Amino acid sequence: MDILETAAYDRRQRRNMSCALLFSLLPFFLSTAVYFYLWTPDSPASIMSAGVKSAPTLLLAAAVLSWNGGQSVLGVVGGLLFSAVGDCCLVWPELFLHGMGAFAVAHLLYSLTFLSSRYVAYSSSSSSWIRFLYLILFMVGGGVYIYIYPFLQKAPNSDILLPAVGVYIVLISLMGALAIRTRHAATLLGSLSFMVSDLSLALQVFKVTDPIKHGHAIVMVTYYLAQLLIAVGDVKAVEKEDFAKWKRS
């Protein structure tokens, strides 16, 4: 009977925490809806548009901070804050490199977070498959770089852009590989969605393809989805760790 009561209590606690998490994410969903409502293809670059674009990411950072506390500042919260800086920079095309640098720092912070103890590493029995997935991921990243290389060479600032894009691809591939290591579905899907968003953006910015219909919407939907999943994955990882400690006590 005690075991059944404990299991029922555990389920109620998890359900209550999930409802509370969803409630804390409502500002993010509302701000995302506002962004897509206000954005138009001919929207001029301005402080207002930068603020509206970065608001969902900042609100996600606030939600994660409220759940995980100050320890997350050097982790997912820090990554979200640098992503918000990148969001603002990309509003102005001349600040593209600055934005890419901010997102590179975000990927580095995400990667360090995924290495933390609260994310369970893979077992030895599955290590060969995980390494194989790592290899595939980095090969895809290398293939993307080779594919867009001729277009990067045509850019006015190609001397800076060529190595910068190469380093960025390594960092986002590393982030994706470490997301696989966590075995958290939300974290993994978030990292993959981030890669899809960045690939879509690169194809358009570097004029690799003809203008894509609804191209901006594809970039931003996958981007906001990526940040949401990474944030939720981090909250769930801390929640699971705290819950395990509570169970042991």
pLDDT tens track for 224-242: 999 999 999 999 887 655 5
Burial of 69 (0-12, 13-18, 19+ CB in 10 A): exposed
Name residues whose C-beta falls within 8 Å of residue 230's C-beta, 6 or more positions apart in sequence: 76, 79, 110, 186, 187, 190, 191, 194
pTM value is 0.89
pLDDT digits (tens, 9 = 90+) for 34-72: 999 998 877 888 999 999 999 999 999 999 999 888 778
pLDDT at 244 over 60: no
Report percent pLDDT > 70 for the chain.
Answer: 86
90-129 pLDDT, tens digit per residue, is: 999 999 999 999 999 999 999 999 988 777 655 555 677 7
pLDDT score of 61 = 96
As a residue count, the chain comes to 249
Question: Would you place residue 222 in the very low, low, confident or very high pLDDT band (cuts 50, 70, 90)?
Answer: very high
Nearest residue to 225 (alpha-carbon basis) of 202, 192, 184: 192
For 123-138, how does the pLDDT look when each residue is reduced to its tens digit (9 = 90+)?
555 677 788 888 999 9
What's the CA dihedral at 164, 170, 173, 178 to 10 degrees? -130
Do residues 230 and 186 make contact, with C-beta atoms less than 8 angstroms apart? yes
DSSP 87-134: HHHHHSGGGHHHHHHHHHHHHHHHHHHHTSTTSPPPPGGGHHHHHHHH
What pLDDT is recorded for position 249? 43
- Contact by Cβ (8 Å): 79, 110: yes
- Domain boundaries defined on the chain: 2-248
Q: Could you tell me what percent of the chain has a pLDDT over 90?
A: 65
Extract the tokens encoding 170.
């390594």
> How far is 115 from 240, CA to CA, in rounded Å?
16
